């Protein structure tokens, strides 16, 4: 039975996001799917990022993160931010973005919304770090439908 658990979790539908931060004015970001609201008062999210992620280490250093909720026009950004390490390349080279009030990169295209967050705690969770983050500000993007991810495929939420 335990061998089926990964396959079972592969049936869960996730929204895709690009999690961002900056340190010393240098932007960092990565694609993630494990983001969830965990509190209404104060508004808080849980964000789970791999220990191997360079962006994760930068978030620990900075203490702030941004959530760029990808829209259906964000497939290229999902691939771009998920296929290479910020240790090796500047993922923001040639990308259109601006910095939020907290210094987190906001993608200019392909997003439904952006949320600016302050990390209030982080903890080890298996092979990931779980960040608990208070939502401080946000804005709507240019996309209408979020980009969904299930069984290693992209979907519009309107298609599910």
* pLDDT at position 88: 86
pLDDT digits (tens, 9 = 90+) for 76-113: 999 999 988 888 899 999 999 999 999 999 999 999 99
The pLDDT tens digits for 119-134 are 999 999 999 999 999 9
Q: Say how many CA atoms lie within 13 Å of 60 toward its Cβ.
A: 16
What percentage of residues in the chain have a pLDDT greater than 70?
96
Where do the domains of the chain lie? 15-153
Residue 146 pLDDT grade (very low, low, confident, very high; cuts 50, 70, 90): very high
Q: Which of 138, 116, 144 is nearest to 47 (CA)?
A: 116
User: How sure is the predictor about 2, in pLDDT bands with cuts at 50, 70 and 90?
Assistant: low
Does the structure show a pLDDT above 60 at 1? Answer: no
- Could you name the CATH architecture of 15-153? Roll (2.30)
- Please report the pLDDT score of residue 128 as a whole number: 96
């Amino acid at each position: 039975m335990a061998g089926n658990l990964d396959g079972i979790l592969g049936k869960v539908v996730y929204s895709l996001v690009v999690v961002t931060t900056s340190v010393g004015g240098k932007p960092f970001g990565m694609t993630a799917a494990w983001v969830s609201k965990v509190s209404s008062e104060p508004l808080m999210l849980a964000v789970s990022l791999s220990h191997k992620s360079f962006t994760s280490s930068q978030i620990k250093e900075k203490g702030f993160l941004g959530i760029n909720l990808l829209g259906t026009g964000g497939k290229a950004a999902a691939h771009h931010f998920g296929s290479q390490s910020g240790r090796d390349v500047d993922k923001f080279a040639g990308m259109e973005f601006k910095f939020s009030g907290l210094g987190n990169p906001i993608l200019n295209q392909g997003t439904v919304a952006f949320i600016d967050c302050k990390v209030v705690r982080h903890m080890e969770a298996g092979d990931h770090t779980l960040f608990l983050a208070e939502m401080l500000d946000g804005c709507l993007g240019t996309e209408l439908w979020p980009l969904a991810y299930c069984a290693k495929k992209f979907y519009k939420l309107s298609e599910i």
